[in-house]
Structure 1
Amino acid sequence: MRLSAWRLLAALSLVVTVASPAMALSGGSPARAGDRLTRATVFITSLTPSGRNKAQVGNCTGVLIERQLVLTAGHCLSDLGGPSLVVAQFFDKSNKVAATIQVASGALHPDYAGRASAENPSPELLGADLAVLRLAEPAPKDRQPIALSRNSVEAAKAKSILAGAGLRVPADEASGGQLRMARVSAEVVTKGPTAVALGAAGGSICRGDSGGPVISSGGLWGIVIAIVRRKNLCNSTVFMAVLDPESRSFRTMVSRARRS
C-alpha cells in the first residue's frame, strides 16, 4: 500500500472520515482465550444522562498499558457530554464481558484538537486522537498490560492484528461486547510524534471498536481512531494513530492520567 501525506489529505476531503466512540469490528474472528492481546484489551462503556430518566450509552475499546491505565482514542473521552459513569470491562474465557472496574479519571493527548472530518481533514487531528484512562483500582491479577513498541513505525511494517469489542452485526445493537480480532495491513502515511497509519482490515470497523489496539511482533504500535466512511456506517479501511511513547506529548498524557 502506498499513500503519501498529500494523498491522505485528498482522501480525507473526498470522503467522510468518522472517529465515533461507537465503532466496532464486524468480521474477523473471536479472540483466543489467554492470548496476550485478549488479556490486555478492555471494553469501555459510558453512561451519560441526557434527560429525565434517560441516558446516552457509548462504547469504545481500549488496552491496558499499566495495571491501572488504559490507552484509547481521544474522542472516546472528549465526547462525554457531562457527568458520566465510565467503566472498563474485562473479558472471560469465552471472550464475553466479565469483571468491571470504574474509570476514575482520564487525560487527553496535549495536541488533541477534536476529531477529524471531511470539513476539517487534518492528519494532525487524527494522530493526536489519544487518551489515557485511569482505573479506580488495578486490573485483575490475571490481566497483563501490553508493552508499547519501541519503534512503532518499524512495528507497523510487520504483520499486525487489531482488536475490537463492538458490534459483530452492524445493525444489531445487542451483538456487541464480544472481543474479536482481525489482521490489518498498514502503512504509515504521515511522520512525527502524531503520525498516522492507513490500513486495510480483515473485517469492518463500525460501532464499539474505536480505541482498539493494533499490535505486531514489535509490540503495541497503534490505536484505531477513524474509518473512511462511504455509504455504509462500517468499513475495512481504517486510520490508526501511530504511538510515540518517547515523545513529550505522549509522556505528558500518561503523567497527567497517573496524577488525575
Structure 2
Amino acid sequence: MTNLMKLNRLHSMYAALGLLACAAFGPACVAEGATGDGETELATGGDETELVDSGSSAIINGTAATSWMRRRVVSLGNCTGVIISRNHVLTASHCKPVAGTTMVQFYSTSNTPDSPSTGVTDVVFRPGVNPWIDDLEDTAGDYADIAVLTLASPIPSTSVVAGIDVNYPGEDGTGTQVGRGRHDDVANPTNLLKYATNGLYSDNVDGGYFYTNDERTNKGDSGGPIFTHGQLVSGVLFGDTWVAFATRNKYTSTEYHFEWILDNIGYTGNGVYSQTLTNKFIDGWPYSLVSGNLRKCKYVCEHDSQCIAYSHVALDNDCFLYDDMGDGPVTFSGGTTGIK
C-alpha cells in the first residue's frame, strides 16, 4: 500500500471519528472536519493540524463568576448574552430570540439573577441569517451566529456595558468563557453563572469566527461571551465543533462584525468626550495606535480606562490613543481630537 493510500485511509478514519464525537456531544456539535470526499478539512485562517487533548468539556469544574462578569453577562433563559450598551444585549442568533417574548435577566451581587428583568423590543440578525432554518452565514458568506437585542428598558444601575475587543489576540492568546448553561452537564434551573479559561486556537478571525483550544461549554452557554485582553468581548458562543482532530468551541467574532454591531446599537461616541476639536492633534507620545474610522477611534478610547484622549487622522484612518496630554492639542489639518 502506498503512503498516499495510507494517508487517505487515516484521513477517512479521523473524519469518521469526528462524526461519532459529534453524535456524542449533541446537536450543537458540527463535524466540520468531515468532507464529502472522505478527506479531513483543516481549520481555516492558516491554522495547522494539531492533535489536542480535549478531555475537558463544558464549564466543568468551572468557577463561580466574579463581580465584573456578573455585571456584564445576562441570562436569556435558554441562552447567555452580554451587555454592549445601556439598551442592547449581544447573543447568538441560533438562540432564536424573539421580540416581545424573550426576557433578559440581570446579575448583580449573586451568581443567580437577582436584578429586575426586562423584555426585548427588537431583534436584529446579520442580513441573510435565518436561525430557524439553521442558516448562520450572512449574504457575504461570512459566519454570523450573532444577534443584537434591543431592551424594553435600560440596564439596571448594577450592570455595566462590556467593551468590544478590536484586536483579536491570536492563537497564543487566552480567553475567559462565561455562561449560565448546564454545568458538568447537570441541569442549571437557577441560571447559575460560571466561567472557565481557554486558549485560542485560531490565528485570525477571517470569515467571521474563531476556535478555542478545547471545548469548555454546555447547552445554555450559547450566546455567552469570551473575554480577552481583560474584560473586552471577542466573540459570542455558537457551541462545539470538531476541527483538526479535536472538539473545540466556535465563536462568532465581534471584531469582524464590529461596524455592524455599532450600527445596530446606534453608537456615535457623542457625549463621551468633554471636548472634541477639529483640525487638532495632540502633541505627545501615544501609547497605542489603532487602524480605523473616527467612530471606531472614539469607541476604543471610551472603553479603554487608560485612554484620556484620542487623535484621529482621516487621511490614513489612524487613531492615536493617549494617557498623557503632552504639550496639548496643536493645529493639524484633517485631525480630530477628543478629550475625556
TM-score by length of structure 2 reads 0.54
Rg larger in 1 or in 2?
2
Question: Which residue does the alignment assign to 1:110?
Answer: 127
Number of aligned residue pairs: give it.
Answer: 217
SS of corresponding position for 2:237: strand
| Cα distance in 2, alignment partners of residues 197 and 93 from structure 1 | 32
Check the 8 A contact 1:126/1:225 in 2, yes or no. Answer: no
Question: Which residue does the alignment assign to 2:201?
Answer: 187
Aligned AA (1:154): P
Question: Which residue does the alignment assign to 1:3?
Answer: none
Question: Which residue does the alignment assign to 2:175?
Answer: 160
Q: Evaluate the alpha carbon distance shift between residue 11 and residue 86 of structure 1 in structure 2; reply closer, same or farther with a 3 A threshold.
A: farther
Question: Which residue does the alignment assign to 1:207?
Answer: 219
| Cα distance in 1, alignment partners of residues 17 and 126 from structure 2 | 24
| Cα distance in 2, alignment partners of residues 128 and 39 from structure 1 | 25
Question: What whole-Å deviation, never above 9, does each CA across 1:37-71 have from its counterpart, x for those lacking one?
Answer: 221000002xxxxxxxxxxxxx0000000011000
Of residues 50, 70, 88, the one that matches 1:38 is 70
Aligned AA (1:86): T
Q: How far did 1:174 drift?
A: 4.5
Does the alignment pair 1:221 with 2:225? Answer: no
| Cα distance in 1, alignment partners of residues 199 and 17 from structure 2 | 23
Give structure 1 regions of 4+ aligned residues with deviation exceeding 2 angstroms. 10-20, 24-27, 110-117, 120-127, 153-159, 172-176, 187-192, 244-256
SS of corresponding position for 1:75: helix
Question: Which residue does the alignment assign to 2:85?
Answer: 66
Of residues 233, 243, 251, the one that matches 1:240 is 251
| Cα distance in 1, alignment partners of residues 193 and 153 from structure 2 | 22
Question: What whole-Å deviation, never above 9, does each CA across 1:133-190 have from its counterpart, x for those lacking one?
Answer: 1110001111101111122x236743210100011242x4344500000001112266
Check the 8 A contact 1:19/1:225 in 2, yes or no. Answer: yes
Aligned AA (1:244): E
| Cα distance in 1, alignment partners of residues 16 and 222 from structure 2 | 18
Aligned AA (2:118): I
| Cα distance in 1, alignment partners of residues 15 and 95 from structure 2 | 24
SS of corresponding position for 2:213: strand
Check the 8 A contact 1:146/1:220 in 2, yes or no. Answer: yes
Check the 8 A contact 1:41/1:90 in 2, yes or no. Answer: yes
Larger RCO (CA under 8 A, 6+ residues apart): 1
Aligned AA (1:65): I
Question: Which residue does the alignment assign to 2:148?
Answer: 132
